[in-house]
Amino acid sequence: MAQTVVVGLSGGVDSSTAAVLLLEQGYDVIGVTMRHLPAETTNSCCSLEAIVDARRVAKKLGIPHYLVDVEQPFFERVILPFQEAYLTGTTPNPCALCNRYIKFGAMWEWASSQGADFLATGHYVRRVQRDGLFYIMRGVDRSKDQSYLLYTMKQDDLAHLLFPLGEYYKEDSRAIAERYGLVTAHKPESQELCFVPKNDYQGYLEMHRPEAISPGEVVDTGGHIVGHHRGVAFYTVGQRRGLGISSNEPRYVVALDAEKNQVVVGAQDEVFQKSVLVEQVNYVVPIYTEKITGCAKIRYNMEPEPAEWVGHGSDADIVFLNPQWAISPGQIAALYQQDTLMAGGRIRKQT
């Protein structure tokens, strides 16, 4: 008897191709679309167009399709923390929270309630079982690798997760979808946060959290007032333009101090740091040593850099071989050994 897998259909080409590959592998496939925003939203996987496309794909493939409402947990687990992060001067990563609580949380709860054996998505990562453990490895397509956003996965999660696209390139995904005549084959990718129109997070905060507009001082690293800002929520570490200050030398945001309501600026070399303290650490695979040598990354679109990971509790220090640009509290730091994701956590502060 074939095993049953629920695949998250977002209305895009990657999830569509994932469903195709699972069918080719002999699984009984069920498609599900998680509605986490109102259907009138136009720039997301919850838009009416996306839902219709997901249904058309399911119909073309001859698989059942369900629409499951997760609007409330998405608001509580993803949108609110996103807003709060900016208000406290930190940088959020809503996609990682969505993966943890919605895609691999609420969606698996629904899938398991339907008697499914596995849950699958269109992420470009590889899941490998070896020596009784499950490993997350970077996708073959480095330009699409999404392992960084899966640092919260535990062994119990990986036991029922499948990532069919891990061995494929993006162009392969489109070619497979085209071969099957799927409406999503040449659908353009969205580069926006699903709940922030046009990626205008400042306008979004002004509308939904007007208290973000809280003028304060811009100070240099010596504590001297050099200007004024409109609210720490509207600035990011490493920012140079739009600071509203005059200086003989270029000045960059070095830190955001929400408690003092200050934006701290400094010279370019002051934005580079070699070490960072990470909290809320999750170990994808068990680690029993105090120090690990590998590579780490502190933002999605960077290649892992040589680093040491010190500590195996809920907190850890990462020391990079070379200084890194604009380490931002609130963002994710992930540890790799070769292609394998070992651990990750939330950056608390530069050290």
Give 340's strand partners: 137, 337
Residue 40 reports pLDDT greater than 80: no
**Catalytic site includes residue 45:** no
Order of all β-strands in the sheet with 225-229: 225-229, 216-220, 262-266, 252-257
146: Cβ contacts below 8 Å, ≥ 6 apart: 123, 124, 125, 139
> How does residue 38 score in pLDDT terms, banded at 50, 70 and 90?
confident
294 is in an annotated binding site: no
Which member of 45, 46, 194, 295 is catalytic? 194
Task: Say if domain 213-266 classifies as CATH 2.30.30.280.
Answer: yes
> How does residue 140 score in pLDDT terms, banded at 50, 70 and 90?
very high
CATH fold of 4-198, please?
Answer: Rossmann fold (3.40.50)
The pLDDT, as a whole number, for residue 229 is 96
32 is in an annotated binding site: no
Region 91-101 average pLDDT: 93
Residue 188 reports pLDDT greater than 60: yes
What is d(CA 37, CA 306) in angstroms, rounded to the nearest whole number? 39
10 is in an annotated binding site: yes
The pLDDT, as a whole number, for residue 2 is 87
44 or 259, greater pLDDT: 259
CA triplet 36, 41, 42: central angle to 5 degrees? 130
Domain with CATH 2.40.30.10 in the chain: 272-350
> How does residue 11 score in pLDDT terms, banded at 50, 70 and 90?
very high
122 is in an annotated binding site: yes
Region 148-153 average pLDDT: 96
The pLDDT, as a whole number, for residue 42 is 56
**Catalytic site includes residue 46:** no
Region 237-264 average pLDDT: 93
8 is in an annotated binding site: yes
CATH number assigned to the domain with residue range 272-350, chosen from the 4 options 3.40.710.10, 2.40.30.10, 1.50.10.10, 3.40.190.10: 2.40.30.10
Domain with CATH 3.40.50.620 in the chain: 4-198
Domain with CATH 2.30.30.280 in the chain: 213-266
Of 20-24, 101-105, 139-143, 192-196, give the lowest mean pLDDT range. 192-196
Mean pLDDT computed over every residue of the chain: 94
14 is in an annotated binding site: yes
Residue of 60, 54, 14 whose CA lies nearest to 189? 14
- Is 137 strand, coil or helix? strand
Quick one: what percent of the chain has pLDDT higher than 70?
97
Model confidence pLDDT, tens digit, residues 225-245: 999 999 999 999 999 998 988
